[in-house]
Structure 1
Amino acid sequence: MNISIRKIAENDPKIISDAFKEQGWDKPITLYERYIGEQNNGERVTLIAEADGQFAGYVNVIWKSYYPAFREESIPEVNDFNVLLKYRRLGIGSKLMDRAEEIISERSSVAGIGVGVFSDYGNAQVLYVKRGYVPDGKGIHNGQCYVAYGENVVINDDIVLYLTKNLKN
């Protein structure tokens, strides 16, 4: 299988949205149109993976993270990392992460990433640890603030543990 990584292009939003719709995920075209605009503005880099010429997955590098601790410390964030189910466990995610980290290393010695805390994110949790990411030590964040001891939360995609990796080892 020939895997290639490139930046998102103008004709990609519909292809990406349709591919995720085929596996039952709602990822609207407008999301990827926004990614193109933000890439053109220098706010993010969106990388597309293709396997034998077919869309297989994507990842973003956000230069100014939405996560306050990364933003305050100017840590670029690897964000919205998705590989289609039928292309998982073929090394595509690792190639996307390699390229994202390479791009980040041109501007920063540290990369950040957030990962969900329930079982749907199990593969990502293992991948990030194997790649050398460690928790930032600030605890779980809910998209607005840190979750405090004893606080009741609904575990969903907003409940995230943030990790960092030193890229200059």
Structure 2
Amino acid sequence: MSVHIRLLNESDPVIISKAFQEQGWGRFAEQYLHYLAEQRNGERVTLVAELNGEFAGYVNVLWYSGYPSFREQGIPEINDFNVLMKFQRQGIGSRLMDRAEEIISERTDVAGIGVGVFSDYGKAQVLYAHRGYIPDGHGVHKHDHYIQPGEETIMDDDVVLYLTKKLKATQ
């Protein structure tokens, strides 16, 4: 089994979109073209994993997070982390996360990540906990605000708990 991690390139958007659509996820090439443009501008790094030459997954590093606490503290965000279902539980996600954390550690010693709070995100929740990510202490966030006690909301992909990880000891 040969896993190769590399940067997103011009030929990837259509390949990635097709792979996710084949497993029933509505991902469109325009999203990945946007990622490519932001990568060229230095706003993000998009890492692509291939297993034996076949697209298997990807992850982003956002240098300027949309999440207020990360943005204010200058914490880069690991974002939109996806491995095709047929390639899950083979270590590909861990390899992508390892590389994303290495890239972040070249600039700072803290990485951030958001995770959905319902059962569809259970595998990710467990993975992040095993990797040492802990809640940032601000509670759950949706769109542009933190959910307050007594507030009603629809539990969907936009209800997120944000986590951080210390990557290396302060020098």
Runs of at least 5 residues in structure 2 that lack an aligned partner in the other structure: none
CA-CA distance at 1:143 after TM superposition: 1.7
Paired AA for residue 75 in structure 2: I
User: In the aligned structure 2, how far is the partner of 1:165 from the partner of 1:29?
Assistant: 31
CA distance in structure 1 between the partners assigned to 2:18 and 2:157 by the alignment:
22
Where 1:27 maps in the other structure, the secondary structure is coil
Q: TM-score, normalised by structure 1?
A: 0.99
Q: For each residue in 1:43-100, what CA deviation from the matched residue of structure 2 results, as whole angstroms up to 9, or x when unmatched?
A: 0000000000000000000000000000000000000000000000000000000000
- TM-score, with normalisation over the residues of structure 2? 0.98
Q: Work out the percentage of aligned pairs sharing the same amino acid.
A: 64
Find the counterpart in structure 2 of residue 40 from structure 1. Answer: 40
Tell me by how many angstroms 1:23 deviates: 0.2
Residue 105, structure 1, aligned to residue 111, structure 2? no
Report the residue type matching 1:90 in the other structure. Answer: Q
Query: How far apart are the structure 1 equivalents of 2:28 and 2:89?
Result: 25
Structure 1 residue ranges without an equivalent (≥5):
none
- 1:78-89 to structure 2, matched below 5 A, reads 78-89=78-89
- Map 1:3-152 onto structure 2 (within 5 A): 3-152=3-152
Cα distance in 1 for residues equivalent to 2:155 and 2:5: 33
Q: Which amino acid aligns with 2:91?
A: G
Shift of 1:130: 0.2
1:160 equivalent in alignment to 2:150: no
Once superposed, what is the RMSD of the aligned Cα atoms?
0.4
Runs of 4+ in 1 over 6 A off after TM superposition: none
SS at match of 2:146: coil
